[in-house]
Amino acid sequence: MGHHHHHHVDPNDGDAKVLWAILVNMGLTVAQIVGGIFAGSLALIADALHNFSDAISLIIAFLARKIARRPADKSMTFGYGRAEVVAALINYTTLIVIGLYLAYEAVMRFFDPQPVDGWLIVIIAGIALVVDVITALLTFALSKTSVNIRAAFLHNVADALGSVAVIFAGTLILLYDWRLIDPAVTLLIAGYILWQSFAEIGGVIRILMLGAPEEVDLDAVIELMRNADGVRDVHHVHFWRMQEHQSALSAHLVLDINDVEAAGWVRDALKKQLHDQFDIVHVTLEIEAHNEPCTDPQLIGHQDAGA
């Protein structure tokens, strides 16, 4: 079954929105850290660190978007499109480190509870919630077409939830002076950061490891090639993503025909079918005559680089 994933996006679209999102997050981070120190709230500082990581991830994503637009050259013959995927890996890895650190600090705070200013927590977390919602709105449209911006958008949604949790903690501290709620909320925020990061980082690693696109059935791709007119067999199939929205395929085709011109027609027709049905934008097909195929070929990949 064919899958269509066409993305017609102006490459410069949204840069201003990303810059605004960076600025408001950096301003919020400073306010939360200062407020967290004065209020004695680890949860507020935890939320600030998460906001700071969002701002950094937006900066990295913004720079990666710029780099990714550079054309292919002698040093990067496939172009620079994977810069965004590398940036996403950096962002998620950083989030995992932050999540683990916050979890450690929260556990330590359980053994040594600190006095906390509930009113300051509620006020600053309320401001943070407004900023988080604004940032999420700025990045929502872009999140549909970029793994980096999607990560940043999801982080802001998490921040908004974190701010709600911090407001809840501050309210309980005001009403009942329950200091342990602060590290408890910090653990929840850390747990959400870790869950979110581990859930998303797998897809990024898959692209960098040249994994086959999950949304396309490779068996269906191979079946299409095998059933093409003039094709006797297919082997040495490689299927991967060159970048987030561009898949590539290479394979050896064993043809029933020996005519060079007819072989070219078969190859060109098959390339068009692969593009139209599976949105594969970069296809390389090596032609083999039926009486001179590869010796002992395997269907997927190469057993020997020299084969």
Tens-level pLDDT at each residue, the chain (307 residues): 443 333 334 445 567 777 777 887 788 788 878 877 887 777 677 767 767 777 777 788 788 878 888 888 899 888 888 888 888 888 888 888 888 988 888 888 888 776 666 677 778 778 878 877 887 787 777 777 777 777 777 777 777 777 777 788 778 878 887 778 878 888 888 898 899 889 889 989 999 999 999 888 999 999 999 998 888 889 999 999 988 788 999 999 988 877 777 888 889 999 999 999 999 999 999 988 777 767 777 888 766 544 4
pTM of the predicted structure, to 2 decimals: 0.74
> For residues 124, 125, 126 and 132, what is the CA-based torsion angle, rounded to 10 degrees?
110
Residue at 215: amino acid letter: E
| Boundary of a domain, candidates 208, 240, 264 | 208
Three-class DSSP category at 82: coil
| Other beta carbons within 10 Å of 58 | 29
Of the candidates 102, 246, 121, the one whose C-alpha atom is nearest the C-alpha of residue 175 is 121
Shared-domain flag, residues 199 and 250: no
Q: Please name the residue that has the structure tokens 């977390």.
A: 125
pLDDT attached to residue 7: 37
pLDDT of residue 114: 66
CB count in 10 Å sphere of residue 263: 19
Token reading at 122: 């509620």
Q: How many CB atoms lie within 10 A of CB 1?
A: 7
Which runs of consecutive H residues, i.e. helices, occur in the chain?
A: 15-39, 42-68, 83-111, 118-139, 147-176, 181-208, 218-226, 260-278
Q: 22, 59 in Cβ contact below 8 A?
A: yes
Residue 298 sits at φ, ψ, to 5 deg, of: -115, 150
85 and 200 co-located in one domain: yes
| Residue 285 placed within a domain | yes
- At 237 the three-state DSSP class reads strand
- Residue 223 pLDDT: 93
DSSP assignment letter at 243? E
Query: Contact 277/216 with Cβ under 8 angstroms?
Result: no
Asked whether residue 92 falls in the same domain as residue 229, the answer is no
Contact 153, 133 (CB under 8 A): no
Give the range of the structural domain holding residue 46, as residue numbers without chain letter.
15-208
What is the total count of domains within the chain? 2
Check whether residue 191 and residue 224 sit in a common domain.
no
Domain end marker among 173, 208, 243? 208
**Rounded-to-integer distance, Cα 146 and Cα 263, Å:** 38
Task: Give the pLDDT confidence score for residue 21 in this predicted structure.
Answer: 78
Q: What is the pLDDT of residues 226-279, one digit of tens each?
A: 998 888 889 999 999 988 788 999 999 988 877 777 888 889 999 999 999 999
